C-alpha cells in the first residue's frame, strides 16, 4: 500500500471477542493492522483466508483498519516459535 508517498505493510487478523457480561455470546471481528505482518499472539492471521470462508466460518464481512500510529510498539508482539 502507498500512503503519502510512503510504503507500509498491513495484514488482516481475526479476534474472538466476548460480549460478557451482557451476553454469553462470542463474536469474531476483523482488523487490518497497519505496519504489522505475520503471526501475532492471540490473533488469527487472515491474509490467506478466502472471503467466503471468513463470512461462512467466522461471520466476518469487513475489517476495521487500525493506523500504525495508534498501535504501541510493544502492544502486538510476533508469535513466538
- The answer to the question of residue 36 being in a domain is yes
- Residue listed under C-alpha cell 493492522: 33
SS3 70: helix
Can you give the pLDDT at residue 10? 86
Can you give the pLDDT at residue 19? 92
Tally the domains of the chain. 1
- The answer to the question of residue 4 being in a domain is no
Cell (9 digits) for 51: 472471503
- The answer to the question of residue 80 being in a domain is no
- The answer to the question of residue 5 being in a domain is no
**pLDDT of the chain, 81 residues: tens digit per residue:** 334 455 567 899 999 999 999 999 999 999 999 888 889 888 999 999 999 999 999 999 999 998 887 776 555 555 555
- The answer to the question of residue 30 being in a domain is yes
Q: Which residue range is the domain that position 42 belongs to?
A: 10-70
- The answer to the question of residue 54 being in a domain is yes
- The answer to the question of residue 2 being in a domain is no
Rounded to two decimals, the pTM is 0.75
- The answer to the question of residue 51 being in a domain is yes
Tell which residue, 71, 70, 11, 13, has the closest CA to residue 41: 13
Amino acid at each position: 500500500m502507498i500512503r503519502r508517498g510512503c510504503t507500509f505493510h498491513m495484514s488482516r487478523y481475526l479476534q474472538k471477542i466476548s460480549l460478557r457480561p451482557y451476553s454469553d455470546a462470542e463474536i469474531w471481528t476483523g482488523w487490518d493492522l497497519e505496519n504489522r505482518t505475520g503471526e501475532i499472539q492471540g490473533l488469527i492471521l487472515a491474509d490467506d483466508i478466502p472471503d467466503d470462508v471468513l463470512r461462512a466460518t467466522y461471520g466476518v464481512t469487513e475489517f476495521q483498519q487500525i493506523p500504525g500510529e495508534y498501535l504501541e510498539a510493544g502492544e502486538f508482539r510476533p508469535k513466538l516459535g
